[in-house]
Amino acid sequence: MSNTREPLLVPASDPKDHHLKKCASDTGANYSLDRQRSTGKPPQPELPPVANLAILTPQRAAMILLIYIGVGLLCFIYVKHGFEGERTVNIVDALYFCAVTMTTVGYGDLVPHTSTAKLFTCAFVFLGFGLIGLIIGNAANYFVEKQQRLLEKALEEQQQLEQSGESRITSVQHKVLVAAGLVVIVLGAGIGILMGVEGLGFVNSFYCVCVTVTTLGYGDRAFRTEVGRICAVFWILASTACVAQFMLYLAELITEERQHAIAKWVLSRKVTISDVEAADIDKDGRLSAPEFVIYKLIELGKIQDADVKAILDDFREQDVDQSGSITISDVTS
C-alpha cells in the first residue's frame, strides 16, 4: 500500500472526462445524466413538501387576506352593537375597523365595549398577527435568498468593474427609487383625502398620514366620514404596504453595498501564510483549488466552518466503502 497521502479534496475535472458505468445491481435506479449532459448543469434537488407549503405566493397571500377580511367583516356586523365611537354605515365601519386593526394602526376612534366584541377583537388581532408573521417570515426568506444572489452578483460585477472601470447602478437602487416614489405618492394621496374629504388642514393631514403609515395611530386625528373611511380602507392597506416594501428594498440596498465591499476586499486581498494554514483542510502544507474556494466562501460569509465540517462528515458517511469518493455502488448499496 502506497504511503503517498491523497488530498482530501481534489479539483473537479471536466464532466465529459467522466464515464459512469451502471452496475447490474442498480437496474431500478433512475439517473438524470442525459439531462446533465444536454444542459451542462446538474439537476436541481426538489424542495421537501414542508418547504413548498411554507412558500407564500401572491395568490395564496391574496386568498388568505380576503378570507381574513371577510371573516372580520361578518363578525363585526354580527356584533355591531358591541362597538362604540363615531359610526357611519355598518359595512363601511366594518371594513375600516378591519383595515386599521390588521395594519396595527389602531386609531381608537372605533373600539369594542362589550365582552363579545372584545373577545372577537382579541381573536381578530391574533389572527392578524399570525398573518403578518407569515408575511414577515416569507419576506425574511426572500431577503436571505436575495442576499445570496446579491453576493454572487457582487462578485461578477466587481470583476467586470475592475476591467472596465465604470460606475455601477444596480437594479436594487432602481427598486429603492421606485418604492420611494410610491411612498411619496401614497403620502400625497392621504394628505389629499384628509384635506378634501375630512376637512383637515395641511399640517394636521400630514401629521395624520405620518402616524398612519408608520402604524403609530395616536387617534387624535382619524377618518370620521363615510366617504373618508371608504377611501381610508384602500389607502391604509396600500400605504402601509408601500412603506414596508420601501423599507425592505432599503435594507436590501444596504446589504448589497456591504456585499460589494466584502467582494472587493476578498478578491483583492493577497493570500498570507496564516490563510494557507487555516484553509489547508487536509494539512498537507499546500492549498488545492477546492480548499482555496472553500476558504474564500467562508471569507465571503456564504458558508461557515461548521458547514464544511458537516458536509465532510456527511461525505464520509455516504462513502460506504471508504474509498475517498462516492461511487454508484455506494449510492445503490
Tens of pLDDT, residue by residue over 247-276, are 888 888 888 788 777 777 777 778 888 878
Q: What is the pTM of this model?
A: 0.60
Same fold, 49-141 and 162-259: yes
pLDDT at 12: 44
- The alpha-helical segments, DSSP class H, found in the chain are 33-39, 49-54, 58-78, 90-102, 115-164, 171-196, 202-213, 226-268, 273-279, 289-300, 305-318, 328-332
CATH class of 162-259: mainly alpha
DSSP per-residue string spanning 168-233: ---HHHHHHHHHHHHHHHHHHHHHHHHHHTS---HHHHHHHHHHHHTT---SSS---SHHHHHHHH
Spatial CA neighbour of 129 closest among 100, 94, 99, 102: 102
Q: Write the pLDDT tens digit of every residue in 113-139.
A: 999 999 999 988 888 877 777 776 666
Pick one of 3.90.700.10, 3.40.50.11740, 1.10.287.70, 3.40.50.2000 as the CATH number of 49-141.
1.10.287.70
Residue 110 backbone dihedrals phi, psi, to 5 degrees: -140, 110
Per-residue model confidence as pLDDT tens digits over 71-127: 888 888 888 888 988 888 889 999 999 889 888 888 888 899 999 999 999 988 888
Share of the chain above pLDDT 90, in %: 17
Question: What residue ranges do the domains of the chain occupy?
Answer: 49-141, 162-259
Q: Provide the pLDDT for residue 186.
A: 93
Phi, then psi, of 106 in degrees rounded to 5: 50, 70
Q: Please state the rounded mean pLDDT for residues 299-304.
A: 77
In the predicted model, what is the mean pLDDT of the chain? Answer: 76
Long-range contacts of 266-272 (CB under 8 A, 24+ apart): 266/296, 266/299, 266/300, 267/155, 267/158, 267/159, 267/162
Which residues, including other chains, have CB under 8 Å from residue 81's CB and lie 6 or more apart?
114
Q: DSSP readout, 225-265?
A: SHHHHHHHHHHHHHHHHHHHHHHHHHHHHHHHHHHHHHHHH
Residue range 143-182, pLDDT digits in tens: 556 655 666 666 666 566 555 545 555 677 888 888 899 8
Q: Which triple of cell numbers denotes residue 246?
A: 420601501
